[in-house]
């Protein structure tokens, strides 16, 4: 029996009459059948969200926060079950699956507390007997379109600030991970989210995502995914408020004074964790020529210890689907022409792929410029910090970056000069904390930051308020 859509607080079948299956990318086992939604379902969800918004926006923000606290409690209670759900449906190793759920717990707790802050600003007026301040107000109905690689965490990053700010949502998850999204929505419903406040419409980008982006009844879009789709969103959303995060080509710089063992730990985790399927994955290692040989020796040894297989038992899980395997194979073929294959390079049975490293890669090579989204990283050799930063910045993207060095001057130079929304010192390119803003520059997005207080800003607007108690007409600038 097929799972259903969640619209207006009820589980309903799609108007399309069609369904699709979700399968475990490691084993091929079926995880369920889900509704293939369409534009009519989107319209019903928007209507339900608009109706719910009228009352939901008036609920005091601290009370909205209490609902999120309850959601966090339920996520904690179900963490093991949901972590396995992430591993089974997306493929990541079980500790990462549990981390995916923990990130959702963290962001719900953080945003729940923002319900008691939701700060505006007060400022002196330039006129006597006049008070001036700003407040935060909700946007309305938000369309949330999320990827498959963090199937509970990223929806939580969007839903938590959206809801505490007083908005309602039409939520479309990736078609590779509908089960995880459904489990999250069930928890929100059990936590007390009123009917119509969160609406779930599963289905394809063409049949569900595009109608959400174009729908005139939706006031804002928050999208995380590919650059190609991000460009579609910005071209078709109209005058909606739009937040997009589109990926990266993230560098780890290893300087001549770096702790090489620490750097190798970071490179292996950032390059091959989640099978490289992260927007923050380290797909470039920029190493000072004086430490290239010892670094590569250590890197080869560490990579060789990784086991590949089902995420409940292995270090590196599967790629999400056959298309991802084919894409990785194509880039490895390109890499064989552009550099030297150092290790890996082979597709394994099923959706598995060996952790792969290329050396002798030029900064302009395609494998050093384009996002692969697989377990592949390119080693680029440089002779100075200045050259390392130049190479790091020589890409279209600007999400995360990292430098390993013991020199505080080098560290602060990198902080100043790396073109990225996030910079790590002596840590890998991944590991965002929910109370800090996350996002990038250049082709990574449009300047939006998620998480932290910036998450509240993404899902609310500033309203300026003037209160004149002078008893007469006062005219700013004129009087």
Query: What is the C-alpha separation between 455 and 220, in angstroms, rounded?
Result: 13
**Reading across the β-sheet that carries 130-138, which strands appear in turn?**
122-124, 130-138, 460-468
Given the residues 162, 180, 279, 343, select the one marked as catalytic: 279
Integer angstrom CA distances of residue 272 from 10, 178, 243: 40, 24, 28
**Is 279 known to be catalytic?**
yes
Q: How would you classify the pairing of strands 460-468 and 130-138?
A: antiparallel
Q: To which residue do tokens 């990785």 refer?
A: 328
Token pair belonging to 266: 């970071």
**Phi-psi domain of 140 (left: phi exceeds 0; alpha: psi -120 through 50; beta: other):** left
Is residue 188 within 8 Å of 199, Cβ to Cβ?
no
Nearest in space to 2 (alpha carbons), one of 15, 14, 19, 17:
19
- Which residues does 17 contact at the CB level (< 8 Å), separation at least 6? none
User: So which residues are the catalytic ones?
Assistant: 279
């Amino acid at each position: 029996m097929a799972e259903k859509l969640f619209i207006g607080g009820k589980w309903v079948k799609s108007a399309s009459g069609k369904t699709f299956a979700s399968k475990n990318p490691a084993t091929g086992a079926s995880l369920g059948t889900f509704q293939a939604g369409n534009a009519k379902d989107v319209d019903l969800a928007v209507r339900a969200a608009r109706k719910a918004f009228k009352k939901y926006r008036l609920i005091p923000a601290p009370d909205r926060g209490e609902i999120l606290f309850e959601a966090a409690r339920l996520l904690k209670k179900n963490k093991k079950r949901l972590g396995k759900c992430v591993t089974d449906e997306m493929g990541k190793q079980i500790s990462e699956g549990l981390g995916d759920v923990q990130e959702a717990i963290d962001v719900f707790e953080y945003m729940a507390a923002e319900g008691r802050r939701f700060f505006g600003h007060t400022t002196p007026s330039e006129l006597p007997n006049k008070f001036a301040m700003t407040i935060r107000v909700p946007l309305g109905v938000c369309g949330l379109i999320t990827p498959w690689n963090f199937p509970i965490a990223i929806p939580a990053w969007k839903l938590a600030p959206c809801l505490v700010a007083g908005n309602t949502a039409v939520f479309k998850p990736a078609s590779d991970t509908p089960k995880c999204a459904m489990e999250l929505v069930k928890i929100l419903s059990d936590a007390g989210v009123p009917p119509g406040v969160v609406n779930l419409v599963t289905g394809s980008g063409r049949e569900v995502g595009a109608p959400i982006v174009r729908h005139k009844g939706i006031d804002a879009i928050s999208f995380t995914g590919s650059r190609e789709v991000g460009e579609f969103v910005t071209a078709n959303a109209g005058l909606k408020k739009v937040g997009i995060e589109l990926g990266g080509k993230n560098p780890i710089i290893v300087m001549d004074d770096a702790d090489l063992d620490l750097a190798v730990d970071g490179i292996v985790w950032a390059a091959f964790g989640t099978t490289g399927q992260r927007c923050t994955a380290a797909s470039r290692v920029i190493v000072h020529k004086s430490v290239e040989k010892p670094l590569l020796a250590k890197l080869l040894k560490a990579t060789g210890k990784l086991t590949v297989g089902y995420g409940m038992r292995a270090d590196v899980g599967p790629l999400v689907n056959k298309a991802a395997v084919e894409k990785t194979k194509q880039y490895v073929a390109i890499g064989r022409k552009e550099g030297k294959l150092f290790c890996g390079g082979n597709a394994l049975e099923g959706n598995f792929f060996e952790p792969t490293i290329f050396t002798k890669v030029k900064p302009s090579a395609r494998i050093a410029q384009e996002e692969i989204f697989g377990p592949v990283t390119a080693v680029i050799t440089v002779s100075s910090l200045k050259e390392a930063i130049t190479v790091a910045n020589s890409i279209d993207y600007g999400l995360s970056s990292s430098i390993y060095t013991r020199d505080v001057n080098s560290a602060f130079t990198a902080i100043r000069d790396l073109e990225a929304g996030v910079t790590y010192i002596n840590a890998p390119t991944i590991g965002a904390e929910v109370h800090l803003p996350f996002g990038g520059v250049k082709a990574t997005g449009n300047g939006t930051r998620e998480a932290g207080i910036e998450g509240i800003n993404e899902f609310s607007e500033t309203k300026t308020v003037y209160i004149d108690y002078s008893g007469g007409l006062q005219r700013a600038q004129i009087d």
